[in-house]
Amino acid sequence: LTNLNNCTRYTRFMAQSSGNIGKKLIRIDVSADTVCPWCFVGKKNLDKAIASSNDQFDFEVRWHPYILNPSAPKEGVVKEKFYREKFGPQSERIEARMAEVFRGHGLDYDVLGLTGNSLESHRIINYAGRQALDKQHALVEEICLGYFTKGKYIGDREFLIEAAKKVGIEGAEEFLNDPKNGLQEVYADLEKYSGSISGVPYYVINGKRRLSGGQPPEVFLRTFQEAAKDN
């Protein structure tokens, strides 16, 4: 009986020990702007890579702000007109290319609605991250879907509140209604994570390995494997 009890305790200990070891944690810091279509494409590819490897790893994804055009008006400008003025004769070719890339993800890319200053979106994304990283990740998805495929304006507070509520962010309306809320945190995040980079999307994996651009899923997968070997 004593031997049996010892065996039972040993089995229980081994099971607990195995559970504590768990899977390797992959931390991903993403610098992105919500008006950058390649940032959304990069997110979709990152999501595919995570989904196909979460049997091997646990993931922690944090989103950080990057503002491509800090001087963009808060009231917004017609998106199509803005692209025509910015890219000139190349704008139609760029739009056609983005439409093709989005179709590959089952999405309709359009240039409807307004574009403008993205600060408001970064305020609520930062706020969401202080509640839960999975909610933050889901909020980035909702905001980008609205902006790139449904003609929603990135600076429309009502749109941002609706997106935040949809993914379970508490207190979103009260937070956004005070224009000072979250500004200090966003600017601190900009300086810490985006001050030394020149473009987005930009990924730092486990604090060491860096990727930029809308990388395909296989590049993320390979980087996960490499990062898992780091000390």
Give the CATH number, domain containing residue 44. Answer: 3.40.30.10
Tell me whether the omega of the peptide bond preceding residue 201 falls within 30 degrees of 0, making it cis. Answer: yes
Say how far apart CA 9 and CA 183 lie, in whole Å. Answer: 54
Res 75 pLDDT > 80:
yes
Domain hosting residue 68, numbered range: 27-228
What pLDDT is recorded for position 5?
Answer: 41
| Of residues 2 and 130, more confidently modeled | 130
Whether residue 129 lies inside any domain: the answer is: yes
Whether residue 71 lies inside any domain: the answer is: yes
Whether residue 3 lies inside any domain: the answer is: no
* pLDDT tens-digit map of 125-178: 999 999 999 999 999 999 999 999 999 999 999 999 999 999 999 999 999 999
Neighbours of 76 (CB within 10 A): 17
Res 8 pLDDT > 50:
no
Whether residue 51 lies inside any domain: the answer is: yes
Confidence of residue 230 (pLDDT cuts 50, 70, 90): confident
Whether residue 36 lies inside any domain: the answer is: yes
Tokens representing 203 are 């990924």
Whether residue 19 lies inside any domain: the answer is: no
* pLDDT tens-digit map of 198-219: 899 999 999 999 999 999 999 9
Give percent of the chain above pLDDT 70.
90
What pLDDT is recorded for position 172?
Answer: 98
* Environment class of 208 (CB within 10 Å of its CB; exposed 0-12, middle 13-18, buried 19+): exposed
Res 228 pLDDT > 80:
yes
Res 111 pLDDT > 60:
yes
CB 43 within 8 Å of CB 140:
yes
SS3 label, residue 168: coil
CB 62 within 8 Å of CB 30:
yes
What pLDDT is recorded for position 195?
Answer: 87
For the chain, how many structural domains are there in total? 1
What average pLDDT does this structure show over 110-115? 93
What average pLDDT does this structure show over 116-123? 98
Write down the pTM of the prediction: 0.89
Whether residue 12 lies inside any domain: the answer is: no
What pLDDT is recorded for position 6?
Answer: 41
Whether residue 11 lies inside any domain: the answer is: no
